A and B are shown apart, each in its own frame.
Chain A
């Protein structure tokens, strides 16, 4: 297990270097932030001065060398727009995003897993097709559209819920639904296919031979086994939520790292963009590793392997 974790950490480090390189050069393709910061009638000298202050005047490879040198020491630069260390800006906003994620996953599992079990039990039947339709809808609906639709219905027309910004529990409802809807479908489909496979197995037959009730056979013997692939999905989903939050947080003016990413791109805030993407990558890599370790606790075969 220790060797496995060490190997995964090495792989993660390599991946991070690649991510950092790509985001550095790709970010610079969007244009010069100086154009956005100075009025249109600024003189060439003003522009040159600001460019120099921001450290954007040297050859791009030199800039990259400086960036790498600082990054190794944990310094990912200072945000151009916010005038504060980019890392601090990220960690200021991170909790706001993280508070949404457990609720979205909870919603996804609470609806998706039972739907998947029901669909598997009625394979090919009306309920299966109904659940399948829900799944397709959930995946097909883009979150910016669903978010705006929810705001329109529940905030504008009905006036029941706030349309954006952070606040009390009511502020969570719409963003969580928007994030969670995508997950319901995923959880449902993976639960369904895993259940169908497990239900055919010999140990389920033996459970029935024992005379166990159908409820125990399905919800204990089948579901526990079907949850193993569901758990793997967690890693993917948390990753999806962190990246997917860009759109949802922008729609709901939610001050999390998704919206921070959006702002970094729009304002060509290179140091912030680099920091946000690198830190997000670290976050996703750690979550995936954590899920794989957690996996070992659900499936005893992996635990002792």
Chain B
């Protein structure tokens, strides 16, 4: 699907703030994030470790980690309904059915003491179409086998009675995928689903996700720190830095004409497979402490183009092209 083919907006996040309230202070891990996701689209959410990508995802699921994390501001509109205002019971109905998630580490995502079939069954029972809640056990298990076949697991009839430790990492991640989509959600969040996999398996998994998306038309929020994967997977990409999205636009535009210096530096740091082998490009310095954020641009301390106004005030979001925005004083409005 091309970025221009506009599906309806299925998820819209507006000015999301999720902070950790600790004794030492407030960690502003997600600090004003806005983006939208359309049906059938893959939006990449890119940024370095600790920039708030995963916490954004968990805020959308409303599964914040224990220990002081709280979403204090913003809206998460899923099909027009602000799910931040839902009761916990309503939220349970939404999870799995309307919004679901694939976690990063397949080794720990499955419960070690239950067979794959059992864990899949729990998810399948939440399907909206042709409810299985009253179906006999054998029929549900047939569905489970079908679900495994759908994620390209060989000999699913045997796998169904196996335990997670009997499977490889790539296979487990496929099972997690099958579980995540068995409630037929409109939105799937994939939080670095291939980071823990071998490179050869990564590609297979990405292709699988693409295929599943084409079949179901679900929207995918694809979280990664790997720009190479973004080019392969995404229609649009949002670059996140220190709790905010600093640039967002169609993948092609971002690669060809990145507007934010951070995006440029990130793209430059992707190792090239062609040309002479030199030193790898890195971004000097450290991101600011999320507990003590500067008033100005958060990237200012590492930016080569820094000016006085960058330190004095945060640049607004500038529309730099069709569907392309950047938070930078130097960006030229379209």
Contacts and interface: CB of A to CB of B under 8 A. Distances in A.
Interface string B81-122: 000000010001111110011010100111111100000001
Interface string A192-213: 0000000011111111111111
A225 interface: yes
A198 B255 CA distance: 42
B166 A304 contact: yes
Interface stretch (B135-143, B175-183, B234-242): B175-183
A209 B188 CA distance: 11
A46 to B, nearest CB: 68
B93 A225 contact: no
Interface in B235-257: none
Contacts of B94: 211
B232 interface: no
Contacts of A213: 92
A298 B113 contact: yes
Chain A interface size, as a band, is 20 to 34
B122 A299 contact: no
B93 A211 contact: yes
Interface in B126-179: 126, 163, 165-166, 176, 179
A210 B109 CA distance: 12
A301 interface: yes
B113 A300 contact: yes
A221 interface: yes
A210 B183 contact: yes
Contact of B111 (A207, A209, A228): A207
Interface in A201-253: 201-214, 216, 221, 224-225, 228
A200 B110 CA distance: 13
Contact of B180 (A200, A201, A209, A212): A209
A299 B111 CA distance: 11
B163 A210 contact: no
B113 A211 contact: no
Main secondary structure on chain B at its contact with chain A?
mixed
Contacts of A300: 112-113, 163, 165
Contacts of A205: 63, 103, 109
Interface string A247-283: 0000000000000000000000000000000000000
B163 A202 contact: no
Contacts of B218: none
Given A206-B103, A300-B165, A225 B96 contact: no
A209 B110 contact: no
Contact of B96 (A203, A210, A221, A299): A210
B110 A210 contact: no
A225 B97 contact: no
B37 to A, nearest CB: 17
Contacts of A208: 61, 63, 95
Nearest to B89: A213
Given A202-B103, A300-B163, A300-B165, A209 B63 contact: yes
B328 interface: no
B123 interface: yes
Contact of B61 (A209, A224, A299): A209
B43 to A, nearest CB: 19
Contacts of B176: 206
A206 B183 contact: no
Given A300-B163, A301-B163, A209 B108 contact: no
Contacts of A228: 113
Q: Which 10 A-B pairs have the closest CB atoms?
A: A211-B96, A211-B95, A202-B108, A203-B111, A300-B163, A210-B96, A210-B123, A301-B165, A209-B101, A202-B109
Given A209-B63, A210-B179, A304-B165, 4 more contacts: A202-B109, A203-B109, A206-B110, A209-B100
5 contacts: A200-B66, A206-B179, A228-B113, A301-B112, A301-B163
Interface of B: 61, 63, 66, 88, 92-97, 100-101, 103, 105, 108-114, 122-123, 126, 163, 165-166, 176, 179-180, 183
